Amino acid sequence: MSTVSEPASLSAPRGADAGLTPKQLADKYGLAVSGRRPSLVQYVRQLWARRHFIWAFATARLVAQYTDAKLGQIWQVVTPLLNCAVFYLVFGVILSNKDDFPYYIAWLCIGVFVFQFTQSAVQAGTRAISDNLGLIRALHFPRASLPIAFTVIQLQQLLISMVVLVVVVIANGIEPGRTWLLVAPALVLQSMFNTGVALIMARIGAKTSDISQLIPFAMRAWLYMSGVMYSIQDRIDNWPKWVQVVMTINPASVYMDLVRHAFAPIIYNKHEAHYQKLPAHLWTYGIGWAVVMLVIGFVFFWKAEEEYGRG
Amino acid sequence: MADSATKIDMGKKPAVQDSVPAREPTVIVDDVHIVYRVHGAGSGKGSATSAISRIISRKRASGVREVHAVRGISFTAYKGEAVGLIGSNGSGKSTMLAAIAGLLPTERGGIYTNGQPSLLGVNAALMNELTGERNVVLGCLAMGMSPAEVRSRYEEIVDFSGINDKGDFISLPMRTYSSGMGARLRFSIAAAKTHDVLLIDEALATGDQAFQQRSKARINELRKAAGTVFLVSHDNSSIREVCERTIWIEHGELVMDGPTEEVVSAYERGERPQH
């Protein structure tokens, strides 16, 4: 007879399970180590199941973003246009690049808008995890949803700016043509590239909040070296070979040139001194960057899935 | 015979007997140690140049202090249980919950769970700049509901939260909510889904009477749906009402684990059991 005075533990396994160690008990009932990251295939599946969340999150954020500013979403278009104006003054007029390029304003604006797309994806990606810790700790969802949603926000913003860009390009004297259709695939590739970069930056930014201080430096260096407001190809002819290679495969230049060519093939097709011809390998580079960065970024982000929100 | 007699003695609470069939565990905590590493209070964010110098200097100056928050706790929780966690401030209760949710790594020992536990804390803000309405929709989508499911549950969630009792607050940004309103809405969103393991950290304390009654009813429903609920609270009466089992933690160690009435009474008297 068991004695009544001895209280049985509420914790101990009973019946057939009595005597099992916690580890054995966990194995028997298929319990998993808490917070372990899912396999890559499971992760992709979970993420696909959250596609509505990603889209709704992006849309809600986009609308809320400028609620405090009186002019609202107009800033979305005005900011890059002001940038264009400053660049036009400094690089076009003072450094007299505008004389080297036909349609310099269109050429410059396309560059600024396209670079801005990648730049804002990098910046938003860096803060995607660290600015949303509350959400991450409160609800459970694949964390990659956040950097992806922020890239979707940038894409939605880009579509708004594209309307302005079309006006600028036409006002500059370039006629719409069939090549304009190529803008869409170029931007799709750039979006894939941006998503990959945003995922990488999100993981780095989640661990090292200091990185957000260095981003403006890095982005400015990238901006000036990508030939947004002057032709970089004209300047590097005498440089070492490896520098030329790096400059040629620079993804920012690649996507900029693809969009520029699509909007204004006239700039590229004339075989005159300063006119550039779109090299055939640019589309290959564009596709390569898009696929490689997306895969690397996704795997890199997934590797730390269980660690986001800790600390 | 002995079985039924015990059941009558203990009312509706489950009997503890060796002869009863095995129960299905949902959370197994096996000799867990958790150590916080607190980095020295850094200065605020400065210019970009000071950021570089801090990145460099951090490698040399390591002003890291270790806080041993949980020291060797073990317990197993089963399907359909509501387990209360009590103890004084800083005893390690919230740390324990965060670790079960997978938000804190364990230094030693293992935590095994059935599915992904959801932690509901009082500080867990959702999206403050968005309206309550958006928060409900996005929260449900994030938990994996389909848009159609969200539409059909929306009214129920808002009614449950009681946010609209005093006017149309659901269409205001969540940053305008009082802390109690925010906590109510967060609980309502999280409770809309059936969780295998739900961890509640003081989240009910800020709600008003009527809301507390509704949430206790909801916790009971979740338990009946074969879930396990953990409740951290300093309000012993809600522990008594909701949980049939309670774990008392002090200084990161397990003091007592047993039926709520026994453990809470001992806690209130300040009696530590003799080992």
pLDDT tens digits, B193-218: 878 888 888 766 767 788 888 888 88
Instruction: List all residues 6 or more positions away from A294 whose beta carbon is below 8 Å from its beta carbon.
Output: A192, A193, A195, A196
Look at residue A96 in the predicted model and tell me its pLDDT: 77
Contacts B125 to A, Cβ<8 Å: 134-135, 138
Structure tokens given for B172: 């205001």
Of A2, A7, A141, the CB nearest to B143: A141
Look at residue A147 in the predicted model and tell me its pLDDT: 95
Q: Does A303 touch chain B (CB under 8 A)?
A: no
Interchain CB distance below 8 Å, A309 and B103:
yes
Q: Are A57 and A156 in contact (CB under 8 A)?
A: no
Interchain CB distance below 8 Å, A145 and B142:
yes
Whole-angstrom distance, CA of residue A14 vs CA of residue A77: 67
Strand order in the sheet with B64-78: A32-33, B108-113, B25-39, B64-78
Between positions 212 and 231 of B, the ones with CB within 8 A of A are none
Determine the average pLDDT of the residues in B211-235.
Answer: 84
Residue B12 has pLDDT above 50, yes or no: no
CA-to-CA dists, residue B29 to A260, B26, B100, B118, angstroms: 60, 10, 8, 16
Q: Cα B221 to chain center, whole Å?
A: 17
Q: Chain A: give the shortest CA distance to residue B46, in Å.
A: 9
Classify residue A180 as exposed, middle or buried by CB count within 10 Å of its CB (0-12, 13-18, 19+).
middle
Whole-angstrom distance, CA of residue A26 vs CA of residue B261: 29
Look at residue A204 in the predicted model and tell me its pLDDT: 92
Cα angle: A221, vertex A225, A229; to 5 degrees: 110
Whole-angstrom distance, CA of residue A66 vs CA of residue A46: 31
CA proximity to B198, closest of B209, B190, B206? B190
Look at residue A255 in the predicted model and tell me its pLDDT: 93
Instruction: Name the average pLDDT for chain B.
Output: 80
pLDDT, tens only, B72-93: 999 999 888 899 999 988 888 8
Residue B2 has pLDDT above 50, yes or no: no
Look at residue A161 in the predicted model and tell me its pLDDT: 84
Mutation for testing the A interface, residue in B9, B23, B28 having most A CBs under 10 Å: B28
DSSP category for residue B163: G
Domain ranges (residues) in chain B: 7-117+195-269
Q: Chain B: give the shortest CA distance to residue A290, in Å.
A: 27
Q: Is the ipTM of this complex over 0.90?
A: no
CA proximity to B76, closest of B247, B249, B266? B247
Question: What is the enclosing helix (H) or strand (E) of B43?
Answer: none
Q: Are B91 and B249 in contact (CB under 8 A)?
A: yes
Residue B152 has pLDDT above 50, yes or no: yes
Contacts A308 to B, Cβ<8 Å: none
Interchain CB distance below 8 Å, B76 and A22:
yes
Look at residue B260 in the predicted model and tell me its pLDDT: 92
Look at residue A173 in the predicted model and tell me its pLDDT: 83
Q: Are A179 and A261 in contact (CB under 8 A)?
A: yes
Look at residue A192 in the predicted model and tell me its pLDDT: 96
Q: Give pLDDT tens digits along chain A (311 positions).
A: 333 334 456 777 777 777 788 888 888 888 888 777 889 999 999 999 999 999 999 988 888 877 666 676 777 778 878 888 888 888 878 877 777 777 888 888 888 889 999 999 999 999 999 888 878 877 788 999 999 999 999 998 888 888 888 988 888 888 888 888 989 999 999 999 999 999 999 999 988 877 888 898 999 999 888 888 777 766 777 788 888 888 888 999 899 989 988 888 777 654 444 455 667 788 999 999 999 999 999 999 999 988 887 75
Between positions 137 and 196 of A, the ones with CB within 8 A of B are 137-141, 145
> Among positive and negative, which fits the CA dihedral B213, B219, B220, B225?
positive
Instruction: List all residues 6 or more positions away from A92 whose beta carbon is below 8 Å from its beta carbon.
Output: A98, A104, A105, A108, A229
Between positions 57 and 96 of B, the ones with CB within 8 A of A are 74-77
Instruction: List all residues 6 or more positions away from B248 whose beta carbon is below 8 Å from its beta carbon.
Output: B86, B87, B254, B255, B256, B257, B263, B266, B267
Q: Are B117 and B196 in contact (CB under 8 A)?
A: yes
pLDDT, tens only, B26-69: 899 999 998 877 665 444 445 566 656 666 665 544 556 778 88
Look at residue B58 in the predicted model and tell me its pLDDT: 56
Contacts A48 to B, Cβ<8 Å: none
Buried b (16+ CB within 10 A) or exposed e, A215-243: beeebeebbeebbbbbebbeeeeeeeeee
Q: Does B127 touch chain A (CB under 8 A)?
A: yes
pTM: 0.80
CATH entry, B7-117+195-269, from 2.70.98.60, 3.40.980.10, 3.30.1780.10, 3.40.50.300:
3.40.50.300
Whole-angstrom distance, CA of residue A147 vs CA of residue A206: 11
Contacts B26 to A, Cβ<8 Å: 31
> A12 to chain B: nearest residue by CA?
B76
CA proximity to A25, closest of B228, B229, B25, B73? B25
Structure tokens given for B148: 């159609």
Q: Does B20 touch chain A (CB under 8 A)?
A: yes
Between positions 42 and 71 of A, the ones with CB within 8 A of B are 46, 49-50, 52-53, 56-57, 60-61, 64, 67
Q: Are A197 and A189 in contact (CB under 8 A)?
A: no
